[in-house]
Chains A and B, each alone.
Chain A
Amino acid sequence: MDFLLRLNFKEKKAKLECSKCTVSEALKKLRVLRETVLVKKNGKLVCDEETLKQGDAVEVLQVR
């Protein structure tokens, strides 16, 4: 699964070896603390239990 990480104004692409997982699980695998980010799926804000799957456009926005 592909991710777009937006941390400190910098964009970085990341990949995860899973076809389906929740936002919380994905953040854990990416080693990103969930308290520090908001997540958008296909351009919309989602909660931490939201399921992400291959093909979704996922953005992780650092909130600091």
Chain B
Amino acid sequence: MLMIKCGRKGCERKAVATLHYMNMSLCKKHFKELFEKRVKRTTREFGLLKKNDKLALALSGGKDSTALLYALKPVCDSMRIHVEGIYINEGTEGYCVKKRAIAERNCEKLGVPLHEFSFAEEIGSTMDEIAGKEARKATTCAYCGVFKRWIVNKKARELGFNKVATGHNLDDSAQTVLMNMMRNEPFRLARFGPKGGIVEAGKFITRIKPLFKSPERENALYAMLNDPGIVFGPCKYSTEAFRDEVRDFLNRTEEKHPGTKIRIVNSFLSIKPSLENGFGGVGTPGTCSECGEPTSGDYCKCCEMRKELEKK
């Protein structure tokens, strides 16, 4: 029977990945090598890590954060960077149990300590309770991101970390660039990038995205090659109408014109310095009158949302 061989010269192994933008198929070994090299290159290109950093990995048990854990751990080891994981239990029945087990077993396998925090303890409501109060599915989803960021920033700081790495991938990056352009939001675009956290000061912990240039499909494959038991699938509350439309458009375009997503992101990166010059001024953030966390207004988004929920 005809076997599709790896495209690397001299390699006789069976191909498991097709990278259409490179017009090449690769075996497990060479795909993993390529993936890990790209993460290392991204880390170096954007100066995401420094020797002696204390890094927290935001782990959800999903494909992206699992790929992040496996690809970044050796990079950190080689730079003597201490790594631990932070898992946030949102309180979504069924979904959280599966994802938590994945985060836990992979951290254990790699010897990475894992800290767990929950919406129930930190926010006072689980996602299932929030969904019960909030009739619109789209709004339910919006609470989750804000609460998660708030908990991760607060806990990472309390635990003494100076950076948090997240699993944002190339697809997320290309979608965000397009969405900000379509909404005419250059200020947001100027702040967007592989290194975030608005300002490197005060109570903000710098957020880094080592998978900024890694396609979602490849993250899934890399995660599955490292943990064959991983499960895919979005949270039942996940819905972002506009992002879903942009995602669909990009996936269709990528299929017809491979390399579209990375070209969008590279174009953005080449104009980013000009955007920062023109729209980059964000000032130093103050602190929330309620919780003391960083914010540009009187109250942080998390406290605003908590108050909204109390009224419901």
Contact = CB atoms under 8 A, between A and B. Distances in A.
A63 B232 contact: yes
A9 B98 CA distance: 12
A27 to B, nearest CB: 9
Contacts of B248: 33
A61 B255 contact: no
Contact of B234 (A8, A46, A50): A8
Interface in A3-62: 6, 8-9, 33-38, 44-51, 61-62
Contacts of A6: 232
B224 interface: yes
Contact of A45 (B225, B233, B251, B252): B225
Contacts, number: 63
Q: Which of B224, B233, B234, B252 has the most CB of A within 10 A?
A: B233
Nearest to B6: A47
B251 A63 contact: no
A47 B18 contact: yes
Interface string B202-239: 00000000000001110111001100000111100000
B254 interface: yes
Nearest to A34: B255
Nearest to B215: A35
Contact of B221 (A34, A38, A49, A64): A38
Interface in B34-69: 63
A45 B224 CA distance: 9
B232 A45 contact: no
Contacts of A49: 4, 15, 18, 25
Interface of A: 6, 8-9, 33-38, 44-51, 61-64
14 contacts: A9-B233, A33-B251, A35-B254, A36-B217, A38-B220, A38-B221, A38-B224, A47-B16, A47-B26, A50-B15, A61-B232, A63-B63, A64-B232, A64-B234
Given A48-B25, A64-B216, 16 more contacts: A8-B234, A35-B216, A36-B217, A38-B217, A38-B221, A44-B16, A45-B224, A46-B4, A47-B26, A49-B4, A49-B18, A61-B220, A63-B217, A63-B220, A63-B232, A64-B234
8 smallest CB-CB distances across A and B, nearest first, come from A63-B220, A48-B18, A47-B15, A9-B233, A35-B251, A47-B25, A47-B18, A33-B251
Interface of B: 2, 4, 15-18, 20, 25-26, 63, 215-217, 219-221, 224-225, 231-234, 248, 251-252, 254-255
